[in-house]
Chain A
Amino acid sequence: MSRTSPLERYGPPIAVFFLVIALWELLVRAFNVQQFLLPAPTVIAEAFFRTTTNIFNSAAYTIRSAVFGFGLGAGAGILVALITARWTTVREGLMPFAIALNSVPIIAFAPIMNNWFGSTNPLSKIAIVAVITFFPMMINMVRGLTLVEPAKIELMRSYATTPLQVLIKVRIPNALPYLFNALKVCSTLSLIGAIVGEYFGGPRDSLGVYILQEAQLFRFDNAWAAIIISALLGIAFYLVIIGLERIAIPWHASIDKQ
């Protein structure tokens, strides 16, 4: 196993970052690209500092929907997985169905939620995010709880353990890497879900509506500033999960290999 130094690991991506920003600025200026196509990074930065309050208010609303929906959906997914992992027949009947449902573009249900709860009610966004995050979490957790090395179960059997002990000592720790993979997927999905929900109707102070409106009013620098912020939000959300993963499952070998 060759360990890469921090420079080898973080150097190239950081170099790419500055290269791309510099090239972007340069090309936009050199070819005099019109703003509606692509504003220069400096122009976007300027717009950001001009509209900070607006962007942060909108972002706060969207984050709240995403986080609450994420907690609800992922929590329910974990709970259902824990219940179904216990009964083989239920699980085997349910899994193909869950996988089929997972292939449904659930985002299409966003307008239904808007109609149920009212499009300016945060519950409508929370609900759609919860539904979107539920299936990946449940499917991954069921896999994690059931794809256990048979010899580990046999070892526990030799200790005459109860099913509850097997669950706590073997199945749940075994499922943790699957849990974090699902959390990573869900972190991205939750922001997409919240923003799409806003597209079908939401309060003015939300990222989805804000970006759309600024673009329609030809204030592309503002729109881009909000886009960059939502991108950074997505990345931050993802990094938080990775951070938690490192704390929660330091034993996971693939972390070290990464």
Chain B
Amino acid sequence: MASVVSLKNVNKFFGPAERPTTIALKDINLEIQPREFISLIGPSGCGKSTLLRTIGDLVEPSSGEVLVNGKPAHQARINREYGMVFQAPVLFEWRTVLKNVELPLEIMGVPKAERIRRGREMLRLVELQHFERHYPWQLSGGMQQRVAIARALAFRPELLLMDEPFGALDEITRERMNAELLRIWHETQTTVVFVTHSIPEAVFLSTRVVVMSARPGRITEIIPIDLPYPRNVETRESPRFFELVTLVREALRKSEEMREELELR
């Protein structure tokens, strides 16, 4: 089966091409299959957000090839083949919850009745159907982020790009949102690329965890997660979960040490 996302020798520099001041991404190669849930994890400044943005064609790579559904990322963006969720909910404060979810449909010219129907369906999916007339500032942070997820899924993209969407939430809300996201992922059959710096979150959610290191931003290890489905509270307490968390933690530490050695030399 064709990859949903295919990254070949992707590099991203900032500053002048001949003497770049920062190497944000170095020699990134990654294939993401349909229905996968990929987490990008690494220390701050490892370029995981930049990598996510190159997939979404919000950042252009300095060199290399980014394909989404077999097409260049730019074409995929023009075709609106992915939905994006940011760390902040980025809701439009002048729109009600329902109107916020309808935004992408409006831009794509979906007729009004269909827009409302789909918007309500998405709000049911994130269990906010009773809040459609509320304005964003009347909702809590976790609820706002659920609206953002509903908005990203409203036009049924095959690919969902999420940039630390639960980073600003408290641990309890975050765990609930994790379970919620898995259920949505399961129901919608979407492929997800998920940026996080929480190890348990990455392990709980993913089919594969991509470990990155900073300066330059590289992929140092890819860890498959073989936890059974459905994943729930018991999953988090299972021995295998702890093993995998430890595995990811060690991979992160190893990549850190490697970098320090490189810097000392």
A251 at the interface (CB under 8 A from B): yes
A155 at the interface (CB under 8 A from B): yes
Contact residues in B for A160 (Cβ distance below 8 Å):
77-80
Count: A-B pairs, CB below 8 Å: 55
**Which of B78, B82, B86, B95 sits near A151, CB closer than 8 Å?**
B86
SS class of chain A's interface: helix, strand, loop or mixed?
helix
Given contacts A152-B90, A154-B58, A251-B93, contact A165 B107 (CB under 8 A): yes
- Name B residues whose Cβ lies closer than 8 Å to a Cβ of A: 56, 58, 77-80, 82-84, 86, 88, 90, 92-96, 103-104, 106-108, 135, 137
**Which of B84, B92, B106 sits near A158, CB closer than 8 Å?**
B84
Contact residues in B for A156 (Cβ distance below 8 Å):
107
| Most chain A Cβ neighbours within 10 Å, of B77, B78, B94, B106 | B94
10 contacts between A and B (CB under 8 A): A151-B88, A158-B82, A159-B80, A160-B77, A161-B107, A169-B92, A251-B94, A251-B95, A253-B93, A253-B135
Contact residues in A for B92 (Cβ distance below 8 Å):
152, 169-170, 173
Asked whether B104 lies within 8 Å of A249 as measured between CB atoms, the reply is no
Closest to A158 in B: B84
Contact residues in A for B93 (Cβ distance below 8 Å):
251-253
Contact residues in A for B94 (Cβ distance below 8 Å):
173-174, 176, 249, 251-252
A149 at the interface (CB under 8 A from B): yes
Q: What are the interface flags for A223-258 relative to B under an 8 Å C-beta threshold, 1 for contact and 0 otherwise? A: 000000000000000000000000001011100000
Asked whether A169 lies within 8 Å of B77 as measured between CB atoms, the reply is no
Asked whether A154 lies within 8 Å of B107 as measured between CB atoms, the reply is no
Given contacts A251-B95, A251-B135, A253-B93, contact A158 B77 (CB under 8 A): yes
Contact residues in B for A159 (Cβ distance below 8 Å):
80, 103-104, 107-108
